[in-house]
Structure 1
Amino acid sequence: MVGGADAMLEAYRFGVPEGPHREPWTAEYHREAVRVYNESLPSSYQRDVAKLFRDSLTAMAGCSIPADLAADWAIVTAYMREAATSIEDWLVSGESASGRPGPAGAPELTPHNPRVVHWDVLAGLTTQAGTRRMKNACVAVKQYFDAEVPPSLEASERRMLERLISGAAIADVASEMGYSERSMYRELSKLWKKLGVSGRVAGLRKAIAEGLLD
Protein backbone atom coordinates (compact mmCIF):
# COMPACT_ATOMS: atom_id res chain seq x y z
CA MET A 1 0.00 0.00 0.00
CA VAL A 2 2.87 2.37 0.74
CA GLY A 3 4.43 1.61 -2.64
CA GLY A 4 1.12 2.19 -4.40
CA ALA A 5 0.62 5.53 -2.68
CA ASP A 6 4.16 6.55 -3.66
CA ALA A 7 3.43 5.65 -7.29
CA MET A 8 0.25 7.74 -7.23
CA LEU A 9 2.07 10.72 -5.69
CA GLU A 10 4.70 10.41 -8.41
CA ALA A 11 1.92 10.51 -11.02
CA TYR A 12 0.76 13.87 -9.66
CA ARG A 13 4.31 15.17 -10.02
CA PHE A 14 4.12 14.33 -13.70
CA GLY A 15 0.89 16.24 -14.17
CA VAL A 16 -1.91 13.73 -13.57
CA PRO A 17 -4.96 15.81 -12.56
CA GLU A 18 -6.74 15.10 -9.29
CA GLY A 19 -10.03 13.22 -9.34
CA PRO A 20 -13.42 13.54 -7.67
CA HIS A 21 -12.90 11.28 -4.65
CA ARG A 22 -11.26 13.20 -1.83
CA GLU A 23 -10.18 10.10 0.11
CA PRO A 24 -8.92 6.87 -1.50
CA TRP A 25 -10.15 4.66 1.34
CA THR A 26 -13.86 5.14 0.65
CA ALA A 27 -16.35 2.82 -1.06
CA GLU A 28 -16.97 5.45 -3.75
CA TYR A 29 -13.30 5.49 -4.74
CA HIS A 30 -12.99 1.72 -4.84
CA ARG A 31 -16.11 1.24 -6.94
CA GLU A 32 -14.21 3.02 -9.70
CA ALA A 33 -10.74 1.76 -8.79
CA VAL A 34 -11.84 -1.86 -9.21
CA ARG A 35 -12.32 -1.24 -12.94
CA VAL A 36 -8.68 -0.18 -13.14
CA TYR A 37 -7.60 -3.32 -11.27
CA ASN A 38 -9.55 -5.46 -13.72
CA GLU A 39 -7.90 -3.80 -16.70
CA SER A 40 -4.48 -4.32 -15.12
CA LEU A 41 -4.55 -7.65 -13.31
CA PRO A 42 -5.81 -11.20 -13.88
CA SER A 43 -8.79 -12.27 -11.83
CA SER A 44 -6.76 -14.81 -9.83
CA TYR A 45 -4.43 -12.04 -8.66
CA GLN A 46 -7.36 -9.80 -7.74
CA ARG A 47 -8.86 -12.64 -5.73
CA ASP A 48 -5.55 -13.15 -3.90
CA VAL A 49 -5.39 -9.43 -3.08
CA ALA A 50 -8.92 -9.49 -1.67
CA LYS A 51 -8.07 -12.54 0.46
CA LEU A 52 -4.86 -10.91 1.70
CA PHE A 53 -6.80 -7.84 2.79
CA ARG A 54 -9.48 -9.96 4.50
CA ASP A 55 -6.85 -11.99 6.35
CA SER A 56 -5.07 -8.79 7.39
CA LEU A 57 -8.30 -7.29 8.67
CA THR A 58 -8.97 -10.40 10.74
CA ALA A 59 -5.49 -10.25 12.26
CA MET A 60 -5.75 -6.54 12.98
CA ALA A 61 -9.17 -6.90 14.60
CA GLY A 62 -7.59 -8.55 17.62
CA CYS A 63 -4.91 -5.91 18.14
CA SER A 64 -4.86 -3.41 20.97
CA ILE A 65 -3.49 -0.13 19.63
CA PRO A 66 -2.40 3.15 21.24
CA ALA A 67 -4.89 6.01 21.07
CA ASP A 68 -2.63 8.13 18.87
CA LEU A 69 -2.71 5.44 16.16
CA ALA A 70 -6.51 5.18 15.99
CA ALA A 71 -7.04 7.57 13.06
CA ASP A 72 -4.29 5.96 10.95
CA TRP A 73 -5.56 2.49 11.85
CA ALA A 74 -9.07 3.43 10.72
CA ILE A 75 -7.79 4.66 7.34
CA VAL A 76 -5.76 1.52 6.66
CA THR A 77 -8.53 -0.86 7.68
CA ALA A 78 -11.12 1.12 5.69
CA TYR A 79 -8.93 0.95 2.58
CA MET A 80 -8.47 -2.82 2.85
CA ARG A 81 -12.13 -3.45 3.66
CA GLU A 82 -13.47 -1.36 0.77
CA ALA A 83 -10.88 -2.70 -1.69
CA ALA A 84 -11.68 -6.32 -0.77
CA THR A 85 -15.43 -5.73 -0.96
CA SER A 86 -15.20 -4.00 -4.34
CA ILE A 87 -12.99 -6.71 -5.83
CA GLU A 88 -15.20 -9.51 -4.51
CA ASP A 89 -18.38 -7.86 -5.79
CA TRP A 90 -16.78 -7.20 -9.17
CA LEU A 91 -15.62 -10.78 -9.61
CA VAL A 92 -18.98 -12.20 -8.54
CA SER A 93 -20.85 -9.95 -10.96
CA GLY A 94 -18.59 -11.14 -13.78
CA GLU A 95 -19.02 -14.80 -12.93
CA SER A 96 -22.80 -14.53 -12.82
CA ALA A 97 -22.96 -12.64 -16.11
CA SER A 98 -20.41 -14.51 -18.21
CA GLY A 99 -19.69 -17.76 -16.39
CA ARG A 100 -16.01 -16.88 -16.06
CA PRO A 101 -14.07 -14.97 -13.38
CA GLY A 102 -13.97 -11.21 -13.83
CA PRO A 103 -16.25 -9.12 -16.04
CA ALA A 104 -13.47 -8.51 -18.55
CA GLY A 105 -12.04 -12.03 -18.36
CA ALA A 106 -8.60 -10.59 -17.64
CA PRO A 107 -5.88 -13.00 -18.85
CA GLU A 108 -3.49 -14.72 -16.49
CA LEU A 109 0.01 -13.42 -15.91
CA THR A 110 2.73 -15.02 -18.01
CA PRO A 111 6.37 -14.08 -18.72
CA HIS A 112 5.19 -12.89 -22.14
CA ASN A 113 2.08 -11.13 -20.90
CA PRO A 114 3.17 -8.84 -18.06
CA ARG A 115 0.57 -6.75 -16.30
CA VAL A 116 1.01 -3.62 -14.24
CA VAL A 117 -1.38 -1.59 -12.13
CA HIS A 118 -2.15 1.76 -13.76
CA TRP A 119 -1.29 3.89 -10.75
CA ASP A 120 -1.61 7.05 -12.84
CA VAL A 121 -5.24 6.21 -13.58
CA LEU A 122 -5.88 5.45 -9.91
CA ALA A 123 -4.29 8.79 -8.99
CA GLY A 124 -6.75 10.46 -11.34
CA LEU A 125 -9.64 9.15 -9.24
CA THR A 126 -8.64 10.84 -5.98
CA THR A 127 -6.72 13.79 -4.56
CA GLN A 128 -3.07 14.33 -3.79
CA ALA A 129 -3.87 15.28 -0.19
CA GLY A 130 -5.95 12.13 0.29
CA THR A 131 -3.23 9.94 -1.21
CA ARG A 132 -0.58 11.50 1.01
CA ARG A 133 -2.78 11.02 4.08
CA MET A 134 -3.25 7.36 3.20
CA LYS A 135 0.48 6.87 2.75
CA ASN A 136 1.21 8.46 6.12
CA ALA A 137 -1.37 6.21 7.75
CA CYS A 138 0.15 3.11 6.15
CA VAL A 139 3.63 4.11 7.28
CA ALA A 140 2.44 4.68 10.85
CA VAL A 141 0.69 1.29 11.03
CA LYS A 142 3.69 -0.46 9.47
CA GLN A 143 6.02 1.12 12.02
CA TYR A 144 3.73 -0.07 14.80
CA PHE A 145 3.94 -3.66 13.55
CA ASP A 146 7.67 -3.41 12.88
CA ALA A 147 8.43 -2.12 16.38
CA GLU A 148 10.26 -4.49 18.66
CA VAL A 149 7.84 -6.44 20.83
CA PRO A 150 8.84 -6.24 24.51
CA PRO A 151 10.02 -9.62 25.81
CA SER A 152 7.61 -11.66 27.89
CA LEU A 153 8.98 -12.36 31.35
CA GLU A 154 8.59 -15.51 33.41
CA ALA A 155 7.38 -15.09 36.99
CA SER A 156 10.85 -15.90 38.33
CA GLU A 157 12.43 -13.31 36.03
CA ARG A 158 9.98 -10.67 37.18
CA ARG A 159 10.81 -11.54 40.79
CA MET A 160 14.54 -11.14 40.13
CA LEU A 161 14.04 -7.75 38.55
CA GLU A 162 11.66 -6.52 41.22
CA ARG A 163 14.06 -7.43 44.01
CA LEU A 164 17.09 -5.94 42.26
CA ILE A 165 15.20 -2.73 41.49
CA SER A 166 14.25 -2.51 45.16
CA GLY A 167 17.96 -2.52 46.02
CA ALA A 168 18.39 -6.10 47.21
CA ALA A 169 21.83 -7.65 46.88
CA ILE A 170 22.27 -10.48 44.38
CA ALA A 171 23.31 -12.85 47.18
CA ASP A 172 20.07 -12.11 49.04
CA VAL A 173 17.95 -12.60 45.91
CA ALA A 174 19.70 -15.91 45.27
CA SER A 175 18.98 -17.09 48.81
CA GLU A 176 15.32 -16.05 48.61
CA MET A 177 14.82 -17.86 45.30
CA GLY A 178 16.70 -21.03 46.23
CA TYR A 179 19.74 -20.49 44.00
CA SER A 180 23.40 -20.57 44.81
CA GLU A 181 25.05 -17.23 44.16
CA ARG A 182 26.85 -18.69 41.12
CA SER A 183 23.57 -20.04 39.73
CA MET A 184 21.94 -16.66 40.35
CA TYR A 185 24.57 -14.93 38.24
CA ARG A 186 24.00 -17.51 35.52
CA GLU A 187 20.24 -16.89 35.56
CA LEU A 188 20.76 -13.15 35.46
CA SER A 189 23.13 -13.51 32.51
CA LYS A 190 20.35 -15.33 30.62
CA LEU A 191 17.90 -12.59 31.58
CA TRP A 192 20.17 -9.77 30.36
CA LYS A 193 20.62 -11.62 27.07
CA LYS A 194 16.86 -12.00 26.75
CA LEU A 195 16.41 -8.28 27.32
CA GLY A 196 19.13 -7.47 24.79
CA VAL A 197 21.35 -5.66 27.29
CA SER A 198 24.92 -6.11 28.48
CA GLY A 199 24.46 -6.13 32.23
CA ARG A 200 22.58 -5.32 35.41
CA VAL A 201 22.39 -1.53 35.18
CA ALA A 202 21.16 -1.56 31.57
CA GLY A 203 18.76 -4.40 32.32
CA LEU A 204 17.11 -2.65 35.25
CA ARG A 205 16.94 0.61 33.31
CA LYS A 206 15.22 -1.14 30.38
CA ALA A 207 12.76 -2.94 32.64
CA ILE A 208 11.70 0.38 34.17
CA ALA A 209 11.65 2.37 30.91
CA GLU A 210 9.58 -0.20 29.00
CA GLY A 211 7.22 -1.01 31.86
CA LEU A 212 8.10 -4.70 31.86
CA LEU A 213 6.99 -5.05 35.47
CA ASP A 214 3.70 -3.13 35.15
Structure 2
Amino acid sequence: MGGELGEGLVVARVCLGCGRMVGGADAMLEAYRFGVSEGPHRWPWMPAYHREAVHVYGGSLPWTYQRDIAKLFGDCLSAMAQWLIPSELAEDWAIVTAYMREAAGSIEDWLASVGPRLDRSEVAGSAEPATDTPSPFDDIAPTASSGTRGASGEPAANAPRVVHWDALAGLTTQDGTRRLKNACVAVIGHLDVETPRSLETSERLVLQRLVSGAAIATVASEMGYSERQMYRELSRLWDKLGVSGRAAGVHKATVEGLID
Protein backbone atom coordinates (compact mmCIF):
# COMPACT_ATOMS: atom_id res chain seq x y z
CA MET A 1 0.00 0.00 0.00
CA GLY A 2 2.49 2.60 1.11
CA GLY A 3 2.26 6.34 1.43
CA GLU A 4 -0.37 8.26 3.34
CA LEU A 5 -3.12 6.00 2.04
CA GLY A 6 -1.60 3.18 4.08
CA GLU A 7 -2.07 5.09 7.33
CA GLY A 8 -4.08 3.35 10.00
CA LEU A 9 -7.09 5.66 9.89
CA VAL A 10 -7.66 5.15 6.18
CA VAL A 11 -7.24 1.40 6.45
CA ALA A 12 -9.55 1.31 9.46
CA ARG A 13 -12.19 3.20 7.48
CA VAL A 14 -12.02 0.65 4.67
CA CYS A 15 -12.27 -2.13 7.26
CA LEU A 16 -15.33 -0.37 8.67
CA GLY A 17 -16.97 -0.26 5.25
CA CYS A 18 -16.25 -3.94 4.66
CA GLY A 19 -17.42 -4.74 8.17
CA ARG A 20 -20.77 -3.06 7.50
CA MET A 21 -21.15 -5.29 4.46
CA VAL A 22 -20.25 -8.41 6.44
CA GLY A 23 -22.85 -7.52 9.08
CA GLY A 24 -25.51 -6.99 6.43
CA ALA A 25 -24.67 -10.26 4.70
CA ASP A 26 -24.89 -12.11 8.02
CA ALA A 27 -28.34 -10.62 8.66
CA MET A 28 -29.52 -11.64 5.20
CA LEU A 29 -28.17 -15.18 5.61
CA GLU A 30 -30.07 -15.37 8.90
CA ALA A 31 -33.23 -14.29 7.07
CA TYR A 32 -32.80 -17.19 4.64
CA ARG A 33 -32.48 -19.56 7.59
CA PHE A 34 -35.85 -18.30 8.80
CA GLY A 35 -37.47 -19.11 5.48
CA VAL A 36 -37.12 -16.00 3.32
CA SER A 37 -37.20 -16.99 -0.35
CA GLU A 38 -34.38 -16.09 -2.70
CA GLY A 39 -34.89 -13.32 -5.22
CA PRO A 40 -34.18 -12.72 -8.91
CA HIS A 41 -30.74 -11.10 -8.66
CA ARG A 42 -28.02 -13.72 -8.29
CA TRP A 43 -25.20 -11.37 -7.30
CA PRO A 44 -25.85 -8.52 -4.81
CA TRP A 45 -23.02 -6.40 -6.17
CA MET A 46 -24.67 -5.92 -9.56
CA PRO A 47 -26.60 -2.77 -10.59
CA ALA A 48 -29.97 -4.53 -10.93
CA TYR A 49 -29.92 -5.55 -7.26
CA HIS A 50 -29.07 -2.06 -6.05
CA ARG A 51 -31.76 -0.42 -8.17
CA GLU A 52 -34.29 -2.31 -6.05
CA ALA A 53 -32.38 -2.41 -2.76
CA VAL A 54 -32.21 1.37 -2.53
CA HIS A 55 -35.99 1.49 -2.17
CA VAL A 56 -35.76 -0.86 0.82
CA TYR A 57 -33.23 1.49 2.41
CA GLY A 58 -35.42 4.44 1.51
CA GLY A 59 -38.38 2.92 3.31
CA SER A 60 -36.53 2.13 6.52
CA LEU A 61 -33.45 4.31 7.06
CA PRO A 62 -33.07 8.04 7.76
CA TRP A 63 -31.76 9.86 4.71
CA THR A 64 -28.86 11.26 6.77
CA TYR A 65 -27.73 7.73 7.58
CA GLN A 66 -27.89 6.74 3.93
CA ARG A 67 -25.88 9.82 3.00
CA ASP A 68 -23.19 8.83 5.51
CA ILE A 69 -23.05 5.27 4.16
CA ALA A 70 -22.67 6.57 0.60
CA LYS A 71 -19.82 8.82 1.76
CA LEU A 72 -18.15 5.96 3.65
CA PHE A 73 -18.25 3.74 0.57
CA GLY A 74 -17.01 6.60 -1.61
CA ASP A 75 -14.04 7.18 0.70
CA CYS A 76 -13.29 3.45 0.67
CA LEU A 77 -13.34 3.35 -3.12
CA SER A 78 -10.98 6.34 -3.38
CA ALA A 79 -8.45 4.61 -1.14
CA MET A 80 -8.82 1.13 -2.62
CA ALA A 81 -8.34 2.45 -6.17
CA GLN A 82 -4.76 3.40 -5.30
CA TRP A 83 -3.67 0.26 -3.47
CA LEU A 84 -1.77 -2.59 -5.05
CA ILE A 85 -3.20 -6.03 -4.32
CA PRO A 86 -1.99 -9.59 -4.92
CA SER A 87 -3.47 -11.35 -7.93
CA GLU A 88 -5.17 -13.97 -5.77
CA LEU A 89 -7.26 -11.23 -4.15
CA ALA A 90 -8.33 -9.62 -7.43
CA GLU A 91 -11.77 -11.24 -7.64
CA ASP A 92 -12.64 -10.51 -4.00
CA TRP A 93 -11.43 -6.94 -4.39
CA ALA A 94 -13.54 -6.48 -7.53
CA ILE A 95 -16.66 -7.81 -5.78
CA VAL A 96 -16.21 -5.49 -2.78
CA THR A 97 -15.53 -2.40 -4.87
CA ALA A 98 -18.43 -3.20 -7.22
CA TYR A 99 -20.82 -3.44 -4.27
CA MET A 100 -19.58 -0.18 -2.76
CA ARG A 101 -19.75 1.63 -6.10
CA GLU A 102 -23.27 0.46 -6.92
CA ALA A 103 -24.56 1.04 -3.38
CA ALA A 104 -23.12 4.55 -3.15
CA GLY A 105 -24.34 5.47 -6.63
CA SER A 106 -27.87 4.21 -6.08
CA ILE A 107 -28.14 5.98 -2.72
CA GLU A 108 -26.87 9.25 -4.19
CA ASP A 109 -29.35 9.00 -7.07
CA TRP A 110 -32.19 8.26 -4.63
CA LEU A 111 -31.27 11.19 -2.40
CA ALA A 112 -31.12 13.48 -5.42
CA SER A 113 -34.59 12.40 -6.53
CA VAL A 114 -36.32 12.66 -3.13
CA GLY A 115 -34.37 15.63 -1.78
CA PRO A 116 -37.01 18.27 -2.64
CA ARG A 117 -39.66 16.15 -0.89
CA LEU A 118 -37.79 15.61 2.38
CA ASP A 119 -39.55 16.65 5.57
CA ARG A 120 -38.48 20.08 6.80
CA SER A 121 -37.25 18.53 10.07
CA GLU A 122 -34.67 16.60 8.06
CA VAL A 123 -33.00 19.67 6.58
CA ALA A 124 -29.95 20.56 8.66
CA GLY A 125 -30.19 24.06 10.06
CA SER A 126 -33.58 24.73 8.52
CA ALA A 127 -35.75 27.32 10.20
CA GLU A 128 -39.27 28.61 9.81
CA PRO A 129 -39.53 31.37 7.19
CA ALA A 130 -39.34 34.84 8.68
CA THR A 131 -42.02 36.14 6.31
CA ASP A 132 -45.35 34.93 5.01
CA THR A 133 -43.66 33.65 1.85
CA PRO A 134 -44.74 30.03 1.37
CA SER A 135 -42.03 27.49 2.12
CA PRO A 136 -41.31 24.81 -0.49
CA PHE A 137 -41.91 22.34 2.34
CA ASP A 138 -45.32 23.69 3.39
CA ASP A 139 -47.25 21.12 1.39
CA ILE A 140 -45.50 18.24 3.14
CA ALA A 141 -45.51 19.47 6.73
CA PRO A 142 -45.62 16.52 9.15
CA THR A 143 -48.87 15.67 10.87
CA ALA A 144 -49.43 14.31 14.35
CA SER A 145 -49.96 10.84 12.93
CA SER A 146 -46.81 10.81 10.81
CA GLY A 147 -44.61 9.54 13.65
CA THR A 148 -41.02 9.27 12.53
CA ARG A 149 -41.93 9.68 8.86
CA GLY A 150 -42.55 12.85 6.93
CA ALA A 151 -45.79 13.31 5.04
CA SER A 152 -43.84 12.47 1.89
CA GLY A 153 -43.59 8.92 3.18
CA GLU A 154 -39.81 9.05 3.48
CA PRO A 155 -38.26 8.32 6.90
CA ALA A 156 -37.41 11.37 8.97
CA ALA A 157 -33.80 12.03 9.96
CA ASN A 158 -34.43 10.78 13.49
CA ALA A 159 -36.25 7.60 12.43
CA PRO A 160 -35.03 4.30 13.91
CA ARG A 161 -32.11 2.83 12.01
CA VAL A 162 -33.73 -0.47 11.14
CA VAL A 163 -33.01 -2.23 7.87
CA HIS A 164 -35.50 -4.75 6.49
CA TRP A 165 -32.91 -7.45 5.90
CA ASP A 166 -35.61 -9.94 4.97
CA ALA A 167 -36.68 -7.68 2.10
CA LEU A 168 -33.08 -7.32 0.92
CA ALA A 169 -32.54 -11.07 1.16
CA GLY A 170 -35.63 -11.52 -1.00
CA LEU A 171 -33.93 -9.62 -3.81
CA THR A 172 -30.87 -11.86 -4.19
CA THR A 173 -29.55 -15.36 -3.44
CA GLN A 174 -27.87 -17.17 -0.59
CA ASP A 175 -24.86 -18.05 -2.75
CA GLY A 176 -24.46 -14.45 -3.85
CA THR A 177 -24.80 -13.12 -0.30
CA ARG A 178 -22.30 -15.65 1.03
CA ARG A 179 -19.86 -14.84 -1.77
CA LEU A 180 -20.10 -11.14 -0.94
CA LYS A 181 -19.43 -11.82 2.73
CA ASN A 182 -16.42 -14.01 1.97
CA ALA A 183 -15.00 -11.35 -0.35
CA CYS A 184 -15.29 -8.71 2.38
CA VAL A 185 -13.64 -10.96 4.95
CA ALA A 186 -10.78 -11.65 2.52
CA VAL A 187 -10.23 -7.93 1.89
CA ILE A 188 -10.26 -7.16 5.61
CA GLY A 189 -7.75 -9.94 6.22
CA HIS A 190 -5.41 -8.54 3.57
CA LEU A 191 -5.33 -4.96 4.73
CA ASP A 192 -2.24 -3.77 6.56
CA VAL A 193 -3.51 -3.03 10.05
CA GLU A 194 -1.48 -2.23 13.11
CA THR A 195 -0.14 -5.30 14.90
CA PRO A 196 -2.43 -5.84 17.88
CA ARG A 197 -1.20 -5.59 21.44
CA SER A 198 -0.60 -8.87 23.24
CA LEU A 199 -3.84 -10.69 23.92
CA GLU A 200 -4.78 -11.68 27.43
CA THR A 201 -5.53 -15.31 28.25
CA SER A 202 -9.26 -14.61 28.54
CA GLU A 203 -9.27 -12.86 25.15
CA ARG A 204 -7.55 -15.82 23.52
CA LEU A 205 -10.10 -18.14 25.09
CA VAL A 206 -12.98 -16.05 23.73
CA LEU A 207 -11.43 -16.09 20.26
CA GLN A 208 -10.89 -19.85 20.42
CA ARG A 209 -14.53 -20.43 21.30
CA LEU A 210 -15.76 -18.10 18.54
CA VAL A 211 -13.48 -19.75 15.98
CA SER A 212 -14.97 -23.10 17.00
CA GLY A 213 -18.42 -21.73 16.15
CA ALA A 214 -19.77 -21.21 19.67
CA ALA A 215 -22.66 -18.77 20.03
CA ILE A 216 -21.95 -15.50 21.83
CA ALA A 217 -24.56 -16.39 24.48
CA THR A 218 -22.72 -19.65 25.14
CA VAL A 219 -19.35 -17.91 25.42
CA ALA A 220 -20.86 -15.32 27.77
CA SER A 221 -22.17 -18.06 30.05
CA GLU A 222 -18.82 -19.87 30.04
CA MET A 223 -16.96 -16.65 30.89
CA GLY A 224 -19.41 -15.60 33.60
CA TYR A 225 -20.72 -12.56 31.71
CA SER A 226 -24.19 -11.43 30.84
CA GLU A 227 -24.77 -11.17 27.09
CA ARG A 228 -24.63 -7.38 27.32
CA GLN A 229 -21.29 -7.53 29.14
CA MET A 230 -20.01 -10.03 26.58
CA TYR A 231 -20.84 -7.70 23.71
CA ARG A 232 -18.99 -4.88 25.47
CA GLU A 233 -15.96 -7.13 25.94
CA LEU A 234 -16.10 -8.16 22.29
CA SER A 235 -16.30 -4.54 21.17
CA ARG A 236 -13.09 -3.80 23.08
CA LEU A 237 -11.46 -6.91 21.63
CA TRP A 238 -12.35 -5.95 18.05
CA ASP A 239 -10.92 -2.47 18.66
CA LYS A 240 -7.74 -4.05 20.00
CA LEU A 241 -7.43 -6.26 16.92
CA GLY A 242 -8.23 -3.39 14.57
CA VAL A 243 -11.23 -5.15 13.02
CA SER A 244 -14.89 -4.27 12.60
CA GLY A 245 -16.66 -7.29 14.07
CA ARG A 246 -16.86 -11.00 14.74
CA ALA A 247 -16.30 -12.29 11.20
CA ALA A 248 -13.20 -10.17 10.68
CA GLY A 249 -11.92 -10.92 14.19
CA VAL A 250 -12.28 -14.67 13.75
CA HIS A 251 -10.60 -14.47 10.34
CA LYS A 252 -7.69 -12.44 11.72
CA ALA A 253 -7.25 -14.75 14.70
CA THR A 254 -7.13 -17.75 12.37
CA VAL A 255 -4.82 -16.49 9.63
CA GLU A 256 -2.42 -14.65 11.94
CA GLY A 257 -2.12 -17.41 14.53
CA LEU A 258 -3.39 -15.29 17.41
CA ILE A 259 -4.80 -18.36 19.15
CA ASP A 260 -3.33 -21.76 19.96
Q: Which digits, 9 at most, give the CA deviation of each residue in 1:115-157, with x for residues without a partner?
A: 31111110000000000000000000010115568xxxxxxxx
Q: How far off its partner does 1:40 sit? A: 1.2
The answer as to 2:136 corresponding to 1:116 is no
SS in 2 for 1:40: coil
Q: What does residue 4 of structure 1 align with? A: 24
Distance 1:19 1:118 in 2: 15
1:51 equivalent in structure 2: 71
- TM (normalized to structure 1)? 0.64
Match of 1:83 among 103, 106, 111: 103
Q: C-alpha separation between the residues in 2 aligned to 1:70 and 1:148?
A: 23
User: Given the alignment, which residue of 38, 62, 67 partners 1:18?
Assistant: 38
Which amino acid in 2 is paired with 1:105? E
In structure 2, relative to structure 1, the CA distance for the partners of 1:53 and 1:140 (3 Å cut) is: same
Runs (5+) with no aligned partner, structure 1: 150-214
What amino acid is the match of 2:56?
Answer: V
1:105 aligns with 2:151: no
Structure 2: which 5+ residue stretches go unaligned?
Answer: 1-20, 123-149, 196-260
Provide the secondary structure at the position in 1 that maps to 2:103: helix
TM superposition shift of 1:99: 6.2
TM-score (norm 2): 0.53
> Of the two, which has the highest radius of gyration?
1
The reply to whether residue 32 of structure 1 matches residue 52 of structure 2 is yes
- The structure 1 segments of at least 4 consecutive aligned residues displaced by more than 2 Å after TM superposition are 98-105, 146-149
- Aligned residue in 2 for 1:65: 85
How far is 1:67 from its partner? 0.2
Shift of residue 114, structure 1, vs aligned partner:
2.3
Instruction: State the alpha-carbon separation in 2 of the partners of residues 115 and 55 from structure 1.
Output: 22
Deviation readout 1:7-33 (Å, 9 max, x if unpaired)? 100110010000000000011000000
1:62 and 1:104 map into 2 onto residues whose CA distance is 40
What RMSD in Å do the two structures reach over aligned CA positions? 1.9
In structure 1, the partner of 2:240 is none
Number of aligned residues: 145
Q: Note if contact 2:61-2:160 (Cα within 8 Å) is conserved in structure 1.
A: no
